[in-house]
Amino acid sequence: MAGRYMSLLGFAIFVSAFLLFQLQPLIGKYILPWFGGGPSIWTACLLFFQVVLLMGYSYAHIITSRLSTQIASGLHISLLCLSLLALPIAPSPSWKFTSIGSPSATIFVLLAVTVGLPYFLLSTTTPLLQKWHAAQFPKQSVYRLYALSNAGSLFALLSYPLIFEPLLPLKIQTLSWSVGYTLFVVLGVWTCCRMSCIKPEPEVQIDTKLKVSAPHPNPFTIFLWVAFSAVAAALLIATTNQMCQEIAVVPFLWIAPLTIYLFTFILCFDREEIYRRTFFGILLGVAVPIAIALMVVGLRVDIQYHVIAYGVALFACCMCCNGELVKSKPHPKFLTLFYLSMAVGAVLGGVTVTVLAPLVLSDFSEYSVLLASCGILVLLQWYRLRIWTLYSHKPHWIIAPVAGIGFSIVSAVIVFGGTIDTPSLFTARNFHGVLRLTKEGTGNSGMLHLSNGRVLHGAQFISSDRQAWPTAYYGAKSAAGLALARHPKRRLGDGSNALRIGVIGLGVGTIATHATTRDYLRFYEINPEVINIAKKYFTYLKQTPAKVEIVLGDARNQMEAELIRNEPQGFDVLMVDAFTSGAIPIHLLTVECVDIYWKHLRRDGLLLFHITNDSVDLEPVIRGLADLDGVTPLTIVDTGARVRGTSASTWILLTANSGFLQDELILQAAAGTNEHRARLPAWTDSFASLWQVLR
């Protein structure tokens, strides 16, 4: 009988874990376009999931400790049935964020209302059923059920980007998940009923009498459970931030770190002997310095090496943290306390990276701090267990892992110290990323640079005679400069040559140097700190003769709201300048969003995409959009001129304006860049394949 019920519980746990971790990327992808498409949206989601997981583990610990199996089963069945009212889980578009400031609170409320109760009940399944089974059948080990739970989670994460995301539209995904959850509720009710009818085996009573065989974990042991869990969970989020800010905010780059994190749980909890301190200590000592080095050199090294290095470092750290957790796991009697401590640690780690780090650090240097913390914690645990000491004669094999971990700690601390001492005039970090204002050069060539992470956001000469020069990606020979100078309206002499210009992404306002007296400039900027810096430290917006308005908020949401209010802007030129940083906001490049752009443009309008980027090639995607919309695409490459302060840039311009397309200067600028160019199927909100455009 015990084996049969073990199989039943294993199946229920696997299904619950699968649904639990299918829900995370599904709902994250669903709401990503509503909140600006930045990496912090996913980290906010992760924090919510960790908090609810803690609530689920707390619930399992309380009802198994305070209530009989029959009463606890009845309560759980009632909640399972109640959770069906939350289906289907598709959130309402009314949650779209159009306010000013951080949307974290809105994301939390949205997730709580939409998926809170189903996710909570799914999170309770593993500890609850394990504890009930341990009480009924004390001779059987239940910790392998936890490995099975993580296997279900891993299968969910791998199958989402490979099967569900590319094959099913989001609405079908949410409907399928809702059907699957309904079947899980049926399975859960049946499992609870069967478990409540089983009488405990006699060994439970024997174990109760022999309390000495199962001492209660001491406070320091519980502290270590929390600490190891906190460091691993914090590194999960910090690694996700590192990957997303270098490449793009897409489900694969959310899933890859989470998959590694879960895989280490499977390895450690399924077979304790897999975690060998010698091997993983050395791996930690090698992987961490490499990841640190790549973080320092940035995008001068190919993206795939960043992903591999960050992934291996996360694997090494999580194996060490989870391996030490497993080696200190308690008697099954304290199973829910063990899981509860781990959940507390996960929440503390999530809060540290998502909430505290942005308040106390001006960049993403928490990544190096956490790598160092992992090494320190492992060495402290080894010292506590006398695996190594500073004075005794231990086996020589321990020298290599201890030295390696020590080296990783030193390298991480050095890098953290270097980031703290990096000279800058002003540094700001908020929900949307890190901005740093620096001064480059001297004399007439001195310039102010605004960087977003490691990518130039805008620049201006300091000397007054050069302040009006267009710099960075917006020189006179760039597509931005040519579009505003050579637009057919500029040739009219009847006073109607003024342009209505829309720009997605303010930067420092450099594009305003190309505007004339009667022009109208409308900037859409999601980050309020960018607006503050552009107005306080740069003069482009002050000096332009054009009328300037700045709309704060995600451009897509704001432009969609304008259409709802029947306020099409009638732009002659619309520039989408949001793809130059590492974190590509894909929601601004889908069919649905481009349709919004065209509704704001005149029939003969020019739609420009700035795609200068070292990691992804967006040209095939935009050319696919051009085919879909029946317009002509032109790729214009400017090599830049250092003496003028301009940088190399690549823009793609879409238009049906025959007058512009026949302009000799435009044809010369686009010559040789538009022959036999590849095209990709247009991206949609339901599917966008990053693999197709990685360089």
Q: How many CB atoms lie within 10 A of CB 566?
A: 6
> Domain extents for the chain?
1-209, 217-421, 459-692
* CA count, 13 A, side-chain hemisphere, 266: 17
Q: Which fold has domain 459-692?
A: Rossmann fold (3.40.50)
Judge contact between 18 and 153, C-beta under 8 A. yes
Alpha helices in 398-462 (DSSP H): 399-421
pLDDT tens digit string along 622-662? 988 888 888 999 999 999 888 898 989 999 999 999 999 99
Fill in the amino acid letter for 633.
P
CB 480 within 8 A of CB 491: no
Phi-psi region of 510 (alpha: psi -120 to 50; beta: other; left: phi over 0): alpha
> Can you give the pTM of this predicted structure?
0.74
Distance CA 13, CA 176 (A): 19
Q: Where are the alpha helices (DSSP H) in 160-250?
A: 165-167, 170-197, 203-209, 219-246
Distance (Å, whole) CA 572 – CA 603: 9
Task: Please say whether the dihedral angle defined by the alpha carbons of residues 128, 129, 134 and 137, taken in this order, is positive or negative.
Answer: positive
Tokens for 665, please give them.
Answer: 């200067």
Using the structure block, give the residue that is written with the tokens 């003969």. Answer: 604
Please give the CATH superfamily to which domain 1-209 belongs. MFS general substrate transporter like domains (1.20.1250.20)
Q: Distance (Å, rounded) from C-alpha 107 to C-alpha 35?
A: 8
Residue stretches of the chain with pLDDT short of 70: 1-6, 37-39, 97-101, 133-144, 195-214, 244-254, 297-303, 362-363, 387-423, 453-454, 493-496, 579-584, 615, 673-677, 689-692, 694-695
Task: Name the DSSP class of 168.
Answer: S
The total number of residues written for the chain in this structure: 695
DSSP H or E segment with residue 607: strand 601-610
Residue 10: per-residue pLDDT: 78
Give the integer Cα–Cα distance in Å for 173 and 179.
10
Residue 88, preceding peptide bond in cis (omega within 30° of 0) = yes
pLDDT score, position 210:
37
Three-state DSSP class for residue 293: helix
What pLDDT score was predicted for residue 490? Answer: 84
CB-side neighbour CA atoms (13 Å) of 466: 16
